[in-house]
Amino acid sequence: MTPFSIRNASSPQGAVDALSAHDNARYLAGGTTLIDLMKLGVEKPTTLVYVDDMPGLGAIEVVRDGSLRIGALARMSQVADDPRVKAGWPMVSQALWKAASAQLRNMASIGGNLLQRTRCPYFRDTAFAHCNKRVPGSGCDAMDGHNRENALLGTSSNCIALHPSDLCVALTALDARVETLSRDGPRVLPFDALHLLPGDRPHVENALRPGELVTAVVVPGSAAARRSLYLKVRDRQSYQFALTSVAAGLDLEPDGSVRDVRLGLGGVATKPWRALAAEKFLVGHRIDEATAFEAGRRAMEGAVARKGNAFKVELMHRTVVDALLQLARAESIS
């Protein structure tokens, strides 16, 4: 591990100022991703700005317009177990409970979860020389290597690294917003604009400015948010990243046709993925096996499969179908 120094920050503005004053610096909160990458030699910061003691950034609240506002330093387990989140945003609670282990959920911050980095083995193992995300311009060993856990949607000829967050899948489905602070002042980003497609610059993963600090995420309330679920398929039932996952929300008209539907896909894309074509198709239709099947097909349009991950096309198709039918059955019963 590269030697580093630690600076404590007592306020968001103090954190921004401290990070901006040092080259090759990183923010440190729970550290469940950053410290791992430092141990592996992937991340080599010389300064860490410790933000976990800052007051006021761990609050979970429902604001006047009915949105859920989650401070960046709130812990995954706190948010997952909050009764307001369970009732108004079930997919958010379920996505958090199905992520990582209990110990990690108790340590990991929401802000850190939003910015966690890929688990692609070619990125995390420095013995592999060719990784455009870690060493820009070096190539991508995953293309023709072990790519079972790599992406099919949003890929480029330079990178097929998978985005790993469960929470982010739910947040993109619900049109969340991210609040930040930088030396230019505060700003609000649409959640879909936070993470970037790899294109020809896979090492640039997000739209944050140098030194910009995530302070909160805001999730609008809606009928589709209240009637939602997070369905996750994985090799084992705990402490495992998704093979495929779906964050689905559904609001029906009195006649049973779809008024509003939200579909976020995980385990298949280079960033949290919104299945907009499938959503558009479903509006105005009743949810049955045929419409759910067609929505699943449309959700994976444009997928570029490779030898190791081609099975995910059919698996995601079935995951979408299962999620929609589960929600439709629950809606009809209620």
The rounded distance, in Å, linking the Cα atoms of 44 and 26 is 9
pLDDT the model gives residue 101: 85
Q: Is the pLDDT of residue 50 over 70?
A: yes
Encoded tokens for 88: 């108004």
CA dihedral in degrees (57, 62, 65, 70; nearest 10)? 30
Evaluate whether the domain defined by 223-333 bears CATH number 3.30.390.50. Answer: yes
d(CA 95, CA 70): 15
Amino acid residing at 201 = R
Name the pTM for this structure: 0.95
User: Residue 333: is its pLDDT beyond 60?
Assistant: no
At 240-288, the pLDDT tens digits run 899 999 999 999 999 999 999 999 999 999 999 999 999 999 999 999 9
Band (pLDDT 50/70/90 cuts) for residue 102 is: confident
CB 251 within 8 A of CB 260: yes
Instruction: Give the residues across from 28 on adjacent strands.
Output: 50
Residue 53 in this model has a pLDDT that exceeds 90: no
Q: How far is 248 from 226, CA to CA, in rounded Å? A: 11
Amino acid letter, 90: P
State the amino acid at position 116 in one-letter form. Answer: Q
Alpha-carbon dihedral angle through residues 62, 215, 106, 5, given to the nearest 10 degrees: -170
pLDDT classification of 2: cutoffs 50, 70, 90? confident
Q: Which CATH number fits domain 5-53: 3.30.43.10, 2.60.40.10, 3.40.47.10, 3.60.15.10?
A: 3.30.43.10
CA separation for the pair 274, 137 (Å, rounded) = 29
Query: Domain locations in the chain?
Result: 5-53, 60-115+163-219, 223-333
Percent residues over pLDDT 90 in the chain: 92
* pLDDT in the model for residue 334: 53
Mean pLDDT across the chain, nearest whole number?
A: 95
Q: Tell me, yes or no, if the two domains 5-53 and 60-115+163-219 fold the same way.
A: no
d(CA 151, CA 304): 8
Question: What class has domain 60-115+163-219?
Answer: alpha beta
Position 238 confidence tier, pLDDT thresholds 50, 70, 90: confident
